[in-house]
């Protein structure tokens, strides 16, 4: 007697570029290793959407969303309302999923999770259990609320397991699967290596500092930008500082009449926002990274590049305890001391956390297939 397995319909909902990077391998792995077991569709809400960057981004990663919700650029409440209405229409009229998977902690994540819950659809949370313990961050509230209604907790690191168990979540629903962002890095490592960012920007391998700063606490006020400027002025003069600048950061520099001061720094190289391959090539070739981003902490840990994260907290503690990341408040002297440690070779040597091996997507699909 032949038993025919029912194909499981999986709907993945993303809204921002960082979260899209976490889901690039699902269709490919399903086709190669789970033939006939999954029907996977991807929804892009449009929470963060720039047409000029989108086509390059989707083309590089070789995966296009099946549905665009095309929500308006509005307040968080308005955006979430639009997502829920339009996503429900997709589910009821076009694709009726058995499970909805939401990555991360942005407003699209919460809106899609609430839609799944209200429609009685099984919900999986990718990057579940991460906590900064700072509820002034909207992302922290989103993470907590999504985990309250999830059925599958897909965890990237041990802290996620610890947090979920402490919050009373059922142990059998918690799965340490690794990090799907690393899956993308591994899958596209040759494409990343082929980007020649050194020659095109007159840079030397391991001799420049890569910086990404975009958080509102630093760039949305004049004091924060002046603090950044002061740091840049006192950083090592013999190292080029490569700064792919976020549009909001650039707009605020202009708003507070600081453009000339930034432009006169001789060792500062301002770049436009970079595509995924180009930016990862910069990480691969730099001496160190200064950032206030979340995902870059994980990417540098995997690549074992020194990273100084200029934030009061992080939801990714394994990058600190295992990896190559150090958390610093925006204190200029502390930052300069750590930069000196990196340059003199006395900085810590980071390791790669368990299961960050490029196989996380496969583990998730195995768990869904067997439940």
What domains are there in the chain, each with its CATH number?
8-178+356-369 (3.40.50.2000), 190-344 (3.40.50.2000)
Residue 334 pLDDT level (bands cut at 50, 70, 90): very high
Alpha helices in the chain (DSSP H): 17-21, 26-33, 51-61, 76-93, 107-118, 138-148, 158-166, 180-187, 189-194, 197-200, 216-219, 222-234, 247-255, 259-263, 276-285, 295-303, 318-321, 332-344, 360-369
- Residue 4 pLDDT > 70: no
Which of 48, 125, 175, 214 does the annotation list as catalytic? 214
Is it the case that residue 5 has pLDDT exceeding 80? no
Place of tokens 């907290």: 313
> Has residue 266 got a pLDDT over 80?
yes
Least confidently predicted of 138-142, 211-215, 266-270, 336-340: 211-215
Task: Note the pLDDT tens digit of each residue in 358-369.
Answer: 999 999 999 999
Strands 307-310 and 208-212: unpaired
Residue 2 has pLDDT above 60, yes or no: no
**The tokens of 171 are what?**
């142990």
Average pLDDT over residues 146-152: 98
State pLDDT tens for residues 18-67: 899 999 999 999 999 999 999 999 999 988 766 656 677 888 998 899 99
pLDDT for 351 beyond 60: yes
**Hey, is 50 helix, strand or coil?**
coil
pLDDT at 1: 39
The residue-averaged pLDDT of 93-103 equals: 97
Phi-psi group of 180: left, alpha or beta (phi > 0 → left; psi -120 to 50 → alpha; rest → beta): alpha
Active site annotation includes 214: yes
Show the tokens assigned to 314: 């992080």
Contact 115, 84 (CB under 8 A): yes
Task: Tell which residue, 151, 96, 171, 115, has the closest CA to residue 368.
Answer: 151
The reported pTM is 0.94
Q: How far apart are CA 292 and CA 311, in angstroms?
A: 6
């Amino acid at each position: 007697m032949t038993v025919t397995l029912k194909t499981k319909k999986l709907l993945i909902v993303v809204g921002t570029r960082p979260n899209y990077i976490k889901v690039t391998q699902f269709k490919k792995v399903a086709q190669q290793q789970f033939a006939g077991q999954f029907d996977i569709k991807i929804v892009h809400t449009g929470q963060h959407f720039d047409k000029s960057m989108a086509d390059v981004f989707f083309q590089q990663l070789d995966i296009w969303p099946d549905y665009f919700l095309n929500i308006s650029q509005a307040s968080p409440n308005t955006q979430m309302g639009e997502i829920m209405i339009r996503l429900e229409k997709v589910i009821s009229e076009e694709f009726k999923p058995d499970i909805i998977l939401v990555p991360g902690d942005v407003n699209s994540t919460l809106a899609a999770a609430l839609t799944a819950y209200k429609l009685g659809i099984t919900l999986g949370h990718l990057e579940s259990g991460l906590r900064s313990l700072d509820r002034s961050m909207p992302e922290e509230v989103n993470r907590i609320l999504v985990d309250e209604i999830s059925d599958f907790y897909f965890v990237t690191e041990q802290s996620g397991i610890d947090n979920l168990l402490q919050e009373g979540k059922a142990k059998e629903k918690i799965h340490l699967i690794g990090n799907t962002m690393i899956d993308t890095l591994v899958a596209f490592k040759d494409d990343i290596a082929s980007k020649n960012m050194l020659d095109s920007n007159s840079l030397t391998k391991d001799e420049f500092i890569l910086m990404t700063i975009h958080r509102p606490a630093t760039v949305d006020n004049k004091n924060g930008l002046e603090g950044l400027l002061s740091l840049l002025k006192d950083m090592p003069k013999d190292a080029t500082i490569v700064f792919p600048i976020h549009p909001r950061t650039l707009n605020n520099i202009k708003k507070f009449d600081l453009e000339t001061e930034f432009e006169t720094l001789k060792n500062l190289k301002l770049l436009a926002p970079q595509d995924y391959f180009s930016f990862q090539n910069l990480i691969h070739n730099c001496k160190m990274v200064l950032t206030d981003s979340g995902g870059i902490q994980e990417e540098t840990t995997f690549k074992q590049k020194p990273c100084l994260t200029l934030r009061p907290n992080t939801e990714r503690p394994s990058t600190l305890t295992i990896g190559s990341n150090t958390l610093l408040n925006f204190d200029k002297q502390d930052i300069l001391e750590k930069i000196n440690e990196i340059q003199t070779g006395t900085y810590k040597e980071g390791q790669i956390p368990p299961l960050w091996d490029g196989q996380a997507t496969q583990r998730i699909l195995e768990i869904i297939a067997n439940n």
